[in-house]
Amino acid sequence: MGIRIALAGNPNCGKTTLFNALTGSNQFVGNWPGVTVEYKEGKYKSDKEVTIVDLPGIYSLSPYTLEEVVSRNYLIDERPDAIINVIDGTNIERNLYLTTQVVELGIPVVIAINMMDVVEKNGDKINTKKLAEEIGVPVVEISALKNRGLKEVVSAAVAAGKAALPQEPKHRFNGSVEHALAHIEELCLHNISDANIQRWYSIKLFERDEKIQEKLGLSKDVIDHIEQDITSCEKEMDDDAESIITGERYNYIGTIISGCVKKANRGMTISD
Ligand code: GDP
Ligand code: K
Ligand code: MG
């Protein structure tokens, strides 16, 4: 049985370099249906049962760019067996914003911290063991350019994909948000076929994501009902729904970074 692994990450984190190193000349390159965004798929050089997909670079799973729409549709509709979330190790804080969202999809995730050659040259230290514990996914240090850690990261992703355990995000939002999310799930997400993705959908509905409202075919009645949950949370937290979610993600990332990343000459904190 074949395993499908998707590479997801910010633009310029090294996804295509990793994809080329893993697949060599075993590549198929085309366009995503209906759009001019490039589609790349290939077989893993060392095991033809493993298919790798290079997703367009994205900063979030919100629908603001064509790349974000293409990448998230692939992840939620095609449900790859595992995701390798490629992170630029010189820019972990910014890259983790996407990570906090990717782990909510319910698909097994492995983090590949790329550009480790540069990280080491800079003298920065990343506590990968602690990072793995905090986020709840395996973390592998790699350098796609220098061919380092590539076997390890694919092995970890194949193992995660075969185990097929639903990815459980460790992060929880403020109680008021969680209350609204639970209500939204109860209202309209209990019947979707893949239960593991309920949480991700509930967060998107909380953010008033119209593409997701449409995709789920929600009635006006249900949308109005959800709106009540959202507005009461917004009143309580005195902020708009999207800003609440974004702000809480950044707070969470801040605590992770201060415990796991130490930049040379700059003490314990990171500011890019
Ligand atoms: P993508 O946008 O995520 O597909 O990123 P690319 O694969 O196009 O890489 C962006 C840039 O980073 C290119 O100049 C790569 O050569 C470089 N790059 C990728 N991986 C590494 C790495 O491990 N170390 C170093 N030093 N550079 C890398
Ligand atoms: K690029
Ligand atoms: Mg690329």
Taking only the tens of pLDDT, the chain with its 272 residues reads: 799 999 999 999 999 999 999 999 888 888 888 888 888 999 999 999 999 999 999 999 999 999 999 999 999 999 999 999 999 999 999 999 999 999 999 999 999 999 999 999 999 999 999 999 999 999 999 999 999 999 999 999 999 999 999 888 999 999 999 999 999 999 999 888 788 899 999 999 999 999 999 999 999 999 999 999 999 999 999 999 999 999 999 999 999 999 999 998 754 555 55
Those residues whose C-beta lies under 8 Å from the C-beta of residue 102, and which sit 6 or more positions away, are: 8, 61, 75, 83, 85, 109
Distance 57 CA to ligand 2 centre (A): 8
d(CA 140, CA 24): 21
Do residues 85 and 102 lie in contact, with contact meaning Cβ atoms separated by under 8 Å?
yes
d(CA 175, CA 172): 8
User: Ligand 1, atom 2: nearest CA belongs to which residue?
Assistant: 12
Distance 173 CA to ligand 2 centre (A): 33
User: Ligand 1, atom 17: nearest CA belongs to which residue?
Assistant: 14
Distance 268 CA to ligand 3 centre (A): 31
**Predicted pLDDT at 80:** 97
Instruction: Tell which atom from ligand 1 comes closest to the C-alpha of 13.
Output: 3
Q: How many CB atoms lie within 10 A of CB 210?
A: 11
**Predicted pLDDT at 194:** 81
d(CA 130, CA 84): 18
Instruction: Work out the angle between the directed axes of helices 198-206 and 175-188 (0-180°, nearest 10).
Output: 110
**Predicted pLDDT at 66:** 93
Domains in the chain with CATH codes:
3-163 (3.40.50.300), 175-256 (1.10.287.1770)
Which ipTM did the prediction report? 0.97
Residues near ion ligand 3 (Cβ under 5 Å): 15-16
3-state secondary structure the chain: CCEEEEEEECCCCCHHHHHHHHHCCCEEEEECCCCCCEEEEEEECCEEEEEEEECCCCCCCCCCCHHHHHHHHHHHHHCCCEEEEEEEHHHHHHHHHHHHHHCCCCCCEEEEEECHHHHHHHCCEECHHHHHHHHCCCEEECECCCCECHHHHHHHHHHHHHHCCCCCCCCCCCHHHHHHHHHHHHHHCCCCCCHHHHHHHHHHHHCCCHHHHHHCCCCHHHHHHHHHHHHHHHHHHCCCHHHHHHHHHHHHHHHHHHHHEECCCCCCCCCC
User: Ligand 1, atom 18: nearest CA belongs to which residue?
Assistant: 14
Mutate to test the pocket of ligand 1, among 90, 141, 145, 148 (most ligand atoms within 8 A of CB): 145
- From the list 78, 152, 73, 146, the residue with the least C-alpha distance to 112 is 152
**Predicted pLDDT at 204:** 98
**Predicted pLDDT at 56:** 95
Do residues 20 and 52 lie in contact, with contact meaning Cβ atoms separated by under 8 Å?
no
**Predicted pLDDT at 270:** 53
Nearest ligand for residue 39 CA: 3
d(CA 7, CA 169): 19
Distance 14 CA to ligand 1 centre (A): 4
CB-defined site of ligand 1, < 6 Å? 9, 11-17, 57, 114-115, 117-118, 143-145
- From the list 112, 153, 141, 144, the residue with the least C-alpha distance to 14 is 144
Record the tokens describing residue 159, joined without a space.
Answer: 């193992």
